[in-house]
Amino acid sequence: MRIIIYFQYQSKTNASDKYGGIQEIAHKLNWHVRVHEGLPDAKTIRELIAFWNPDGMIFACGGTAVTVDSSVFGKLPVVFFDHDPSRLPAGAFSVSHDSSATARMAFKELALAGANDFAYIPYPEKRFWSDERGRAFADAVRLNGGRMRKFSWGGLDAGDSAAIRRQRVLRKFLPTLPRPCALMAANDRIAAEVLAAAESLQIRVPHDLAVVGVDNAKDICESTAPTLSSVRPDFYAGGRMAAIMLEAMIVNGKSFRGERRMTFGPLEVVRRASTHLLGGFADSSVAAALDMIRRKSCEGLKAADVLKAFRCPRRQAEIRFRKATDHSILEEIHAVRLARAKELLENSDMQLEAIAGFCGFETPNALRKFFSAQTGMTMGAWRKKHATALAKARSNDSPYHHRPHHSEPLSNAFKYPLAKRRPRVK
């Protein structure tokens, strides 16, 4: 059994996905992963190496302006996860998020709906990923003939708290934008501050300003007003890449000829209310209704509750909703509940009787009847089918197997197979 030390910041919104990807490979390769919170100093790293005699390390403490002294690792294989490549030692092995691809995806989400004026809000402190996103977003705007509005965080060095200073800058900038305008923020936290500033200025979102963030941090995205659309990076795939790269380094040693820097891209844009109008919902009441349904369907939401968002006769509200979506309010509520039930069946070991309460159904029997009518299968049969598919994917002899629905194969990531293992040297 190999011993691997994994350094991470649990407070990061993407921490669980990164660790999940690493653990998938660790399970396949019979690793024992020791998790260490935060980026330790050189003395702590030496002590951990002496104590555990690990086979390798993964550092997922990037995103900050850190510099790593590679001499502390000696000859130990190390993979850096989401660190600034310019601050890594020469020849270091690293896996990082493709921030440029993420910016292009955000631009397409905004541009395909007809926006022609754009803005980008970077992270307040200098970060390589924020700079990359800003450059790629501006390039996409220019390539497609749009107009890019410049923004600067200048003047954050005095007075008030950091949060209040950021709000002052945003409240000064947002009124200068043309309306409508489409805005990408460096990440969800900054996007949430943009939405707060827009609300204080009574700028209508998404009518006058559409906003997209990055990371799909649900605790942020679904607590803003309105809820925040966000690009979801495939951090899980990144974790798998880092683990596979480390194993290849351990197995092949100096003969390793694989890529030293690999990237993983975004999965999708998770569309919420901050871009609903740009997605084709010109009726603001429909946008508000869809946002409510997304957030509250699994809490027992009723169609009558949604109709209150329209402030018009019930029949007229139902017609407006159907015209915009091609289905009824109740059908939308049912679709959200069904998706949640499928997610719990496929990705958890929760008892079937308990799932009903997490999907907005009053009784387990009501969920069973609804699920069967919608899918033509019992809940147990559905879980068994998808569990079988997952087991089949994980039974492949190669550790390069996929997470369900992941589209990019990793089987050719490295030149040498992992089957030729060297004995562990003490």
State pLDDT tens for residues 305-359: 998 878 888 889 899 888 877 889 999 899 889 988 988 887 777 888 889 988 9
CA 366 to chain centre: 33
Q: Note the helical H segments in 151-231.
A: 162-173, 188-200, 218-221
Say if residue 320 is in the same domain as residue 305.
yes
- The answer, yes or no, to whether residue 35 has pLDDT greater than 50, is yes
**Where does the pLDDT of residue 401 fall: very low under 50, low under 70, confident under 90, or very high at 90 and above?**
very low
- What is the DSSP track for 326-390? SS-HHHHHHHHHHHHHHHHHHH----HHHHHHHTT-SSHHHHHHHHHHHHSS-HHHHHHHHHHHH
Are residue 220 and residue 242 in the same domain, yes or no? no
- Separation between Cα atoms, residue 194 and residue 208, nearest integer Å: 13
Say yes or no: 182 and 110 in one domain.
yes
Q: For 208-242, what is each residue's pLDDT tens digit?
A: 999 999 999 988 998 998 889 999 999 999 999 99
The CATH number of whichever domain residue 8 belongs to comes to 3.40.50.2300
Is the separation of the CB atoms in 255 and 210 below 8 Å?
no
Predicted confidence (pLDDT) at residue 400 exceeds the cutoff of 50:
no
Q: Which two tokens stand for residue 56?
A: 């390798």
Rounded CA-CA distance 301/309 in Å is: 13
**What's the one-letter identity of residue 277?**
L
**Is pLDDT of 29 > 90?**
yes
Statement to judge: residues 240 and 226 lie in one domain: no
The model's confidence at residue 426, banded by pLDDT at 50, 70 and 90, is very low
pLDDT at position 259 is 79
Q: What span, in angstroms and rounded, lies between the C-alpha atoms of 212 and 261?
A: 28
pLDDT number for residue 410? 34
Question: Do 112 and 35 have their domain in common?
Answer: no
Residue 66 has what pLDDT? 55
The pLDDT of residue 286 is 81
Show Cβ contacts of residue 377 under 8 Å, excluding neighbours closer than 6 positions: 371, 385
Axis-axis angle for helices 329-347, 284-296 (nearest 10): 30
- Percent of the chain with pLDDT strictly greater than 70: 85
Statement to judge: residues 29 and 55 lie in one domain: yes
Q: Are residues 205 and 250 in the same domain?
A: no
Does some domain include residue 293?
A: yes
Residue 416 resides in a domain: no
Q: Given a cut of 60, is residue 391 above it in pLDDT?
A: no
Q: Other CB atoms closer than 10 Å to residue 101's CB: what's the count?
A: 18
Q: Label residue 279 by pLDDT band (50, 70, 90).
A: very low
Q: What whole-number distance in Å separates Cα of residue 349 and Cα of residue 356?
A: 14
Same structural domain, 77 and 171: no
Structural tokens at position 371: 């699920």
Task: Give the mean pLDDT of 363-387.
Answer: 90
Query: Span 178-204, mean pLDDT?
Result: 96
DSSP H/E element including 4: strand 2-8
Residues 300 and 248 in one domain: no
Both 122 and 203 in one domain: the answer is yes
Interacting residues of 27 by C-beta distance below 8 A, sequence separation 6+: none
**404 pLDDT above the threshold of 60:** no
Q: How many CB atoms neighbour CB 377 within 10 A?
A: 13
Which 3-state string (H, E, C) describes 101-124?
HHHHHHHHHHHCCCCCEEEEECCC
**What average pLDDT does the segment 97-102 reach?**
94
The predicted-structure confidence for 143-167, as pLDDT tens digits, reads as follows: 999 999 999 998 665 556 888 999 9
Any domain includes 42: yes
Work out the pLDDT band at 40, boundaries 50, 70, 90.
confident
Mean pLDDT of the residues in the chain: 83
One domain, residues 360 and 337: yes
Predicted confidence (pLDDT) at residue 47 exceeds the cutoff of 80: yes
367 is a domain residue: yes
pLDDT recorded at residue 174? 97
Domain boundary among the residues 275, 300, 327 is at: 275
For residues 8 and 89, membership in a common domain is answered with yes
pLDDT of residue 403: 38
Residue 237: per-residue pLDDT: 92
For residue 408, being part of any structural domain is answered with no
Q: What is the CA radius of gyration of the chain?
A: 24
The mean pLDDT of 108-124, rounded to a whole number, is 88
Asked if the structure places residue 333 within a domain, the reply is: yes
Assigned domain for 425 exists: no
- Region 365-385: mean pLDDT is 91
- How far does the chain reach from its first CA to its final CA, in angstroms? 13
Checking if the pLDDT of 245 tops 70, the result is yes
Name the residue range of residue 313's domain: 284-387
The confidence band for 402, taking pLDDT boundaries of 50, 70 and 90, is very low
- Per-residue confidence band for 69, with pLDDT thresholds at 50, 70 and 90: confident
Q: What is the pLDDT of residue 67?
A: 62
Put simply, whether the predicted model's pTM sits higher than 0.85 gets the answer no
**Residue 183 maps to a domain:** yes
Task: Tell me what percent of the residues of the chain surpass a pLDDT of 90.
Answer: 47
**Number of folded domains that form the chain:** 3
Average pLDDT over residues 168-195: 96
Spell out a b/e string for 388-415, using b for 16 or more CB atoms within 10 Å of the CB, else e: eebeeeeeeeebbbbbeebeeebeebbe
Q: Where are the beta strands (DSSP E) in 25-159?
A: 31-37, 56-60, 78-81, 93-97, 117-121, 147-149
At 301, the amino acid letter reads L
- For residue 335, the domain's CATH number is 1.10.10.60
The pLDDT-based confidence of 299 (bands split at 50, 70, 90) is confident
